[in-house]
Amino acid sequence: MNLTSPLPLNTPKTPLPTFSSNGSHKPTPLHGSHHPLPLHHHHKLSISCSATTNHVLEKKQQIGFTENGVNRIESLSQVSGVLGCQWGDEGKGKLVDVLANHFDIVARCQGGANAGHTIYNSEGKKFALHLVPSGILNEDTMCVIGNGVVVNLPGLFKEIDGLEANGVSCKGRILISDRAHLLFDLHQEVDGLREEELAKSFIGTTKRGIGPCYSSKVIRNGIRVGDLRHMDTFPQKLDILLQDAASRFSRFNYTPNLLKEEVERYKRYAERLEPFITDTVHFLNEAITEKRKILVEGGQATMLDIDFGTYPFVTSSSPSAGGICTGLGIAPRVVGDLIGVVKAYTTRVGSGPFPTEMLGKSGDLLRSAGQEFGTTTGRPRRCGWLDIVALKFCCQINGFSSLNLTKLDVLSDLPEIHLGASYKLADGTPINSFPADLSTLEQIKVDYEVMPGWQTDISSIRKYSDLPKAACRYIARIEELVGVPVNYIGIGPGRDALIYK
- For 162-202, what is each residue's pLDDT tens digit? 999 999 999 999 999 999 999 999 998 888 788 777 765 55
CATH superfamily of 182-273: Adenylosuccinate Synthetase, subunit A, domain 2 (1.10.300.10)
Which helix (H) or strand (E) segment is 176 a member of? strand 174-177
Say which residues have a Cβ less than 8 Å from residue 500's Cβ, sequence separation at least 6.
Answer: 61, 64, 65, 66, 70, 72, 464, 487, 488
H helices, E strands: number in the chain = 14, 20
> What is the reported pLDDT for 252?
84
What is the third-level CATH fold of 39-69+345-500?
Adenylosuccinate Synthetase; Chain A, domain 3 (3.90.170)
> What is the reported pLDDT for 310?
95
- 182-273 and 39-69+345-500 share a CATH fold: no
> What is the reported pLDDT for 30?
30
pLDDT band of residue 66 (cuts 50, 70, 90) is: confident
Residue range 1-9: mean pLDDT, rounded: 37
- pTM for the model stands at 0.85
Binding residues for substrate: 375-381
Weakest-pLDDT range from 156-160, 220-224, 373-377? 373-377
Q: What percent of the chain has pLDDT over 70?
A: 85
CA nearest to 90, candidates 238, 282, 299, 248 = 299
> What is the reported pLDDT for 111?
93
Looking at the domain covering 79-169+279-334, what would its CATH class be? alpha beta
Query: What confidence tens digit (pLDDT) does each residue in 245-270 have?
Result: 888 888 888 888 889 999 999 999 99
- Outline where 209-292 has alpha helix (H): 210-218, 234-248, 256-273, 280-289
Q: Does residue 486 surpass a pLDDT of 70?
A: yes
> What is the reported pLDDT for 384?
95
Q: Please tell me which residue, 199 or 285, carries the higher pLDDT value.
A: 285
Q: Please tell me which residue, 364 or 22, carries the higher pLDDT value.
A: 364
Query: What confidence tens digit (pLDDT) does each residue in 413-427 have?
Result: 999 999 999 999 989
Q: Please tell me which residue, 409 or 63, carries the higher pLDDT value.
A: 409
Binding residues for IMP: 89-92, 114-117, 206, 220, 300, 315, 379
Which helix (H) or strand (E) segment is 473 a member of? helix 469-482
Amino acid in position 493: P
Antiparallel, parallel or unpaired: β 174-177 and 277-278: parallel
> What is the reported pLDDT for 201?
56
- Can you state the percent helix, strand and coil of the chain, rounding each to 5? 35, 20, 45
Contact criterion met (CB below 8 Å) for 137 and 127: yes
Sign of CA dihedral 468, 469, 475, 478: negative
**Catalytic (active-site) positions:** 89, 117, 217
Q: Does residue 206 surpass a pLDDT of 70?
A: no
Binding residues for Mg(2+): 89, 116
CA nearest to 388, candidates 447, 340, 436 = 447
CA nearest to 310, candidates 417, 435, 423 = 435
Task: Give the domain ranges of the chain.
Answer: 39-69+345-500, 79-169+279-334, 182-273
Q: Please tell me which residue, 209 or 475, carries the higher pLDDT value.
A: 475
Binding residues: 88-94, 114-118, 206, 220, 300, 315, 375-381, 407-409, 490-492
Distance CA 240, CA 204 (A): 27
